[in-house]
Structure 1
């Protein structure tokens, strides 16, 4: 945790926030901050700055919030819903890398039971997202949209995202060109399940105007493929 991210409900006064139990533990045991020392804080969807730690009260007193959060990636990520135990790591990585618009969709190779997982509960998703934000010293919460039906997403929602200036890319290991490097334009990247998109799904994506791209002969797990593709498309 490289940033203590403060929620609106933690605000006590305009300049004071009450730390949660987990934040107190991190500040005292990991950061080893003593009473009166400064810590780096950020306000959800707001600026970043410094605050004075008040150990007896468990409060932080804002000194200043004068730094903007880092720039987000100009990319919308469409992701076939991963296995629940992989979703946590994937969403945390996505958030840390600056993706602000994510669609989790269904695919023929996604188990329907995944959609019933408690991992998809709002409080769980929020925890994954906050972990990524605090890791990357960011404050802007990404929008995560669930689309449990493939065809309505591709036919009805996706066309509204594909404006003329946006490049649509489909990660697919077969009959695809090499993934571009260092894009200068916004893009939509669709990544399938570990078993890959079905032929029908690839056809629907191509009808929607996307280009199929690949990274070579190796087939990577989703949690690996996501950061590799993002860092290739938009190098730091």
Structure 2
């Protein structure tokens, strides 16, 4: 936890308060906070501050804001990823948020088991977003959208996101064109499921404006591919 995220209601008085058990346990056990220490705090969907700890007890840590700090900028990217296995979903969301993705879209595809959409992890996505923001020192959550029908999404939604100034790249291990790097403009990235998109899906994506690009001759796990692609595309950011 590199920043403590607070609900705006926790900052309405002169002294701000941390009351979440998870946050207090982390700060007292792992950070060993003391009265007088400074602490980085963010207001959810708002600004970020350096604060001073005024008091500590088992149920509340009180803070005094000292000065405003800069919130890390997002990467101008929409990440579209085939719905992963439930256990991967948590890591994927956390990592994408930490890396600064502006928008995340979870999409169904042929090789996505329909049971994945019933996972209780989907109801916990906001928790994973919070953990990712705290890791990155960010306060602004990315937009997250879910689409359970591949063809209507590609034809009706995705095609409208693609412009000359905002291209879309689908990572495909058998494409001849390499993934670009160090972009200076927004883009959309499409990542398939563990088994990859089927040929029909790749063809439909290309037909509707996506560029099929290769990440090399190694087949990567979904969460590995996302980190690699973001690092490559925005290496100069």
What CA distance in whole angstroms lies between the structure 2 residues aligned with 1:98 and 1:204?
A: 28
Counterpart of 2:81 (choices 79, 82, 91) is: 79
Residue 163 (1) aligns with residue 156 (2): no
1:52 shift after superposition: 2.4
Unaligned runs of 5+ in 2: none
Corresponding residue of 1:113: 115
For residue 62 of structure 1, give the secondary structure of its aligned residue in structure 2. strand
Q: State the superposition RMSD in angstroms.
A: 1.5
1:18 shift after superposition: 3.2
TM-score (norm 2): 0.94
Alignment of 1:144-223 (within 5 A): 144-223=144-223
The count of residues paired between Structure 1 and Structure 2 equals 234
Residues 50, 63 of structure 1: 8 Å contact kept: yes
For residue 119 of structure 1, give the secondary structure of its aligned residue in structure 2. helix
Corresponding residue of 1:5: 5
What CA distance in whole angstroms lies between the structure 2 residues aligned with 1:64 and 1:148?
A: 46
Corresponding residue of 2:64: 62
What CA distance in whole angstroms lies between the structure 1 residues aligned with 2:45 and 2:210?
A: 32
Unaligned runs of 5+ in 1: none
What CA distance in whole angstroms lies between the structure 1 residues aligned with 2:225 and 2:67?
A: 35
What CA distance in whole angstroms lies between the structure 2 residues aligned with 1:156 and 1:165?
A: 19
Which moved further from structure 2: 56-65 or 125-134?
Answer: 56-65
Residues 11, 18 of structure 1: 8 Å contact kept: no
For residue 36 of structure 2, give the secondary structure of its aligned residue in structure 1. coil
